[in-house]
Amino acid sequence: MKKNSFLILFALISIVSCDDDHKNNPQIVTDLNNQNVTSLAIDNTNALWAGTDSGLYKKVNSGYQQIDIKSDAGVTALGYEKPNNILWVGTTEGLIKVTLAGNKTSSVAIPVENMSYDSVSSVYVTQDSERWFGTGYGVTRNLLELWQKEKFKKNLSGTISAAAFEKVGINSIASWDGDFYFASNGRSVYRAYGWNSTISAFTGATQLLKPYNGTNLSDTAFVVFVDSQSRQWMGGREGLVMHIGHDPKAENTSFYSELVNPRVHCIAEAPDGKIWAGTEKGISIYDGTNWTPLTANLPNNYVTAIAFESNGKTWIGTKAGIISLD
């Protein structure tokens, strides 16, 4: 009995020692096979960053280096802020700000009280470095030292109150020419307009529903994206809607059977202008007229993230690892 107790104690000590070594000596893995890759980002140096269920990784010559972000939570979203060289890391337990400086990183956890909810599902940074974070329950905005997590709507009476998208999970955020799009859990996509920075509120917000705003909108929207031609893309459980302009009831084009699978989880634009849509059964690529499937050689056909280097190299994240295409 004493011998067994000693062995158990020795094993526990060994586990603690391994954890300490892991924190002091960043782990290098040759690949991320069989890991659920949730998000990808490319920084100013064309370095690839990958968020996974087991943490944050950076692509290095010898493989992938796990980055200590002072959290054991799984990474759920990444957003790179180019002007300030900051990587925003959303996790299942909060938001972390990672400042990049050469090969060094410094991580700071954002206080939970600043956020509308503890789990972060999306990160969006505007051209003016205004940060928006989708969470499991609502949206949070950050500008300099200001953190806003409620009262995003200005009423006709002039008072400020809650907007409808403050009370649902937000999966993805995008904006174009003053319009913001929030992909939600269970309530399709919200379009908010008339942002007034003086009062930090929108003058209005509408829920986009089929068939009025596109026949392929679904109750849960996974992703919204605006391309270089100002086309707004919205993907969910029933395919894609491409919208042009400000009038949400005009210029809508829906895609369903053209895709390898109607459940769209990510959208990205390649340097050549083609649109890549990641689905649960591979990728569909749009050249402006036709869709082409890409399913061969993927580590898993459930595509979760797509990122492009400036030279055109493609990185694809899946439920079971990463693949690169030159």
Main-chain dihedrals φ then ψ at residue 11, nearest 5 degrees: -65, -40
Residue indicated by tokens 């999306």: 122
Query: Among all chains, which residue has been given the structure tokens 């109750």?
Result: 219
- pLDDT of 62: 81
Asked if 130 and 145 touch (Cβ cutoff 8 Å), the reply is no
Helix (H) or strand (E) holding 19: helix 2-24
Please, which residues have CB within 8 angstroms of residue 307's CB and are 6 or more apart in sequence?
40, 41, 42, 48, 268, 314, 315, 317
**pLDDT the model gives residue 302:** 97
Domain positions in the chain are 28-144
Under a CB-based contact definition with an 8 Å cutoff, are residues 49 and 43 in contact? yes
Overall pTM > 0.85: yes
Answer for the pair 240, 220: CB distance below 8 angstroms, yes or no.
Answer: no
What gap in Å lies between CA 158 and CA 63, rounded to an integer?
55
The reported pLDDT for the residue numbered 13 is: 29
Q: What was the pLDDT predicted at 308?
A: 96
Judge whether 237 and 279 are in contact, CB under 8 Å.
no
What DSSP line would sit under 181-211, residue for residue?
A: EEEESSS-EEEEE--BTTTTBBSEEEEE-TT
* Rounded Cα distance, 133 and 115, in Å: 9
The confidence score (pLDDT) of residue 322 equals 95
Domain 28-144 classified CATH 2.30.30.30? no
Residues 95, 109: Cα–Cα separation, whole Å: 6
Can you give the pLDDT at residue 2?
38
Residues of the chain with pLDDT under 70: 1-30
pLDDT at residue 203 in the model: 93
Backbone angles phi, psi at 303, to 5 degrees: -90, 125
Q: What's residue 157's pLDDT?
A: 86
